Amino acid sequence: MDTDLATIGRQTIQAAEELIKTAQLKPGQILVVGCSTSEVQGMHIGSYGSEVVAARILSSLLKVCSWYQVSLAIQCCEHLNRALVVEQAVAAEYHLEEVTVIPVAKAGGSLAAQAMREFTKPTVVETITAHAGLDIGSTLIGMHIKRVAIPVRLTLKHIGQAYLTAAHTRPRLIGGVRAVYELS
């Protein structure tokens, strides 16, 4: 099991910062993160959650999001239908429907439970349409990012032992053969 917290923190910062820069996220836009702390430790998803690993990952994400003034949404596990923990201000700004549940390690996941403890004014929403996303450990965040998703090949391929996937989004291209997509 690889639980070197300093390395996990550095990897999380590097991945989040690289994605935010690549996606050119603007202040207030949303970064969604799904994470299996079990996978980060080299275990099967959902089998070995860790509050300590979750705390390090969340503190790293909050640091980077603060630097770029990006809003953070933390995806819960499938036991809560992949609902998300966000700040109440984000829910209000984006007109998100709040749901009543408190994520805990065994129903929501360690990172979502940590977000409930550490966010200033946390709330849980059923769905979100984020501008970019990090998936740490194959947690399936695709349902929570805007169309059209563009895969991002980050320098890092793993956080701890968990496989890392990233994406940003762009508006849909519409029109036909005469459509123009860039200003001259």
Summarised one tens digit per residue, pLDDT across range 63-99 is 999 999 999 999 999 999 999 999 999 999 999 999 9
| Residue 114 resides in a domain | yes
Give the model's confidence band at 135: pLDDT under 50 very low, under 70 low, under 90 confident, else very high: very high
- Rounded Cα–Cα distance for residues 107 and 46 (Å): 10
Residues 124-135, mean pLDDT to the nearest whole number: 97
- Rounded Cα–Cα distance for residues 134 and 164 (Å): 7
| Residue 180 resides in a domain | no
| Residue 174 resides in a domain | no
* Domain enclosing residue 18, as ranges: 5-169
Give the model's confidence band at 2: pLDDT under 50 very low, under 70 low, under 90 confident, else very high: very low
The pTM for the full model equals: 0.93
Residues 6+ apart with CB under 8 A from 54: 35, 37, 109, 110, 111, 113, 114
- Rounded Cα–Cα distance for residues 153 and 144 (Å): 19
How many independent structural domains does the chain possess?
1
| Residue 138 resides in a domain | yes
| Residue 164 resides in a domain | yes
Q: What is the CATH number of the domain that holds 15?
A: 3.40.50.10360
| Residue 184 resides in a domain | no
Name the most confidently modeled range: 46-50, 132-136, 143-147, 180-184: 132-136
| Residue 176 resides in a domain | no
Which of 177 and 78 is assigned the larger pLDDT? 78
Residues 139-147, mean pLDDT to the nearest whole number: 93
| Residue 182 resides in a domain | no
pLDDT at residue 3 is higher than 70: no
